[in-house]
Amino acid sequence: MVANSPLDALGDPTRRQVFELLQEGPRSVGELAAELPVSRPAVSQHLRVLESAGLVTHRRQGTRHLYELDGSGVSELRAWVDGFWDEALARFKAAADTKGEAS
Amino acid sequence: MSDALVIEAVRKTVTVDCVVEEAFRVFTADAISWWPTETHSLYEGKVREIVFEEREGGEVYELSSDGEKGHWATVVAWEPPDRIVLAWNVANADALATEVEVRFTADGDGTRVDLEHRGWEALAEDGAEKRANYDTGWDHVLGFYERRLG
């Protein structure tokens, strides 16, 4: 199984930590590994999964590879959560209206 | 090229108390029984299996308890029970690889296992640092293998 959906990718606690650290700004694999209780190869693996889920992207800066959040992927995730919330509110309103008619 | 970067290979030898066939089998097919996956893996603490696809071109990978696959290497030579050569690029099958060769040789009643990890030049400026990590890393990892076959 490859966690290529954003929610699957964030299901892993280490990946959530990587994702949260990248919210603070771009970082290299080494910098992430220094802040987490896992090895550099493990960080690379988790970055690859986050990248395949569209949540993280990387670029070269001189000789360094920097990883950062992928705005479009994060927007999709947010749209999903917003859609879920709109749906929930619509259902709540419908339920409230029905109840109002009944009383 | 007079300025070509040359980095010495990492070489390790351990001797185990079993025949060559068993030493080879445990190293590959039964790696999960000895490899220190808690510390030396991609899904540290969550590794369920280590798979050696037993053919040239096969993949070596770990499987996490969530069923996620973490790439370790590609099999360059598969010559049981004497020798394997792996193109080693943990976490990224598309990345430049170093090369790990493991030889199994009868030595009295036991087996001598020689590991050579070479080709650091491929990693350019990262090569020296990675070599240093693997130099101590292989001592640690092979120590578990040696104790498994005590």
ipTM field: 0.80
Q: B85 pLDDT exceeds 50? A: yes
Contact B55, B75 (CB under 8 A): yes
Domain ranges of chain A: 6-102
Contact B134, B117 (CB under 8 A): yes
- Take residue B141 and report the two structure tokens written for it: 């990892």
Which pLDDT does position B29 carry in this prediction? 98
> Counting one residue from A and one from B, how many pairs have CB atoms under 8 Å apart?
35
A48 contact residues in B (CB cutoff 8 A): 91-92
Tell if the CB–CB gap between B44 and A1 is shorter than 8 Å.
no
Tell if the CB–CB gap between A44 and B91 is shorter than 8 Å.
yes
Tell if the CB–CB gap between B66 and A12 is shorter than 8 Å.
yes
What's the CATH superfamily of B10-148?
Answer: START domain (3.30.530.20)
Residue A42 distance to chain B (closest CA, Å): 4
Query: Could you tell me which residue, B32 or A81, shows the higher pLDDT?
Result: B32
Q: Find the range with the poorest average confidence among B78-82, B88-92, B126-130, B136-140.
A: B126-130
Question: Model confidence over A31-87: pLDDT tens digits?
Answer: 999 999 999 999 999 999 999 999 999 999 888 889 999 988 889 888 888 988 888
- Residue of chain A minimizing CA distance to B45: A38
Q: What is the DSSP string of B74-114?
A: EEEEEETTTEEEEEE-TT-TTS--EEEEEEEEEETTEEEEE
Q: What is the mean pLDDT of residues B71-95?
A: 96
Q: B34 pLDDT exceeds 90? A: yes
Tell if the CB–CB gap between B91 and A12 is shorter than 8 Å.
no
The CATH label, of 3.40.50.1860, 1.10.10.10, 3.40.190.10, 2.70.98.10, for the domain at A6-102 is 1.10.10.10
A39 contact residues in B (CB cutoff 8 A): 39-40, 44
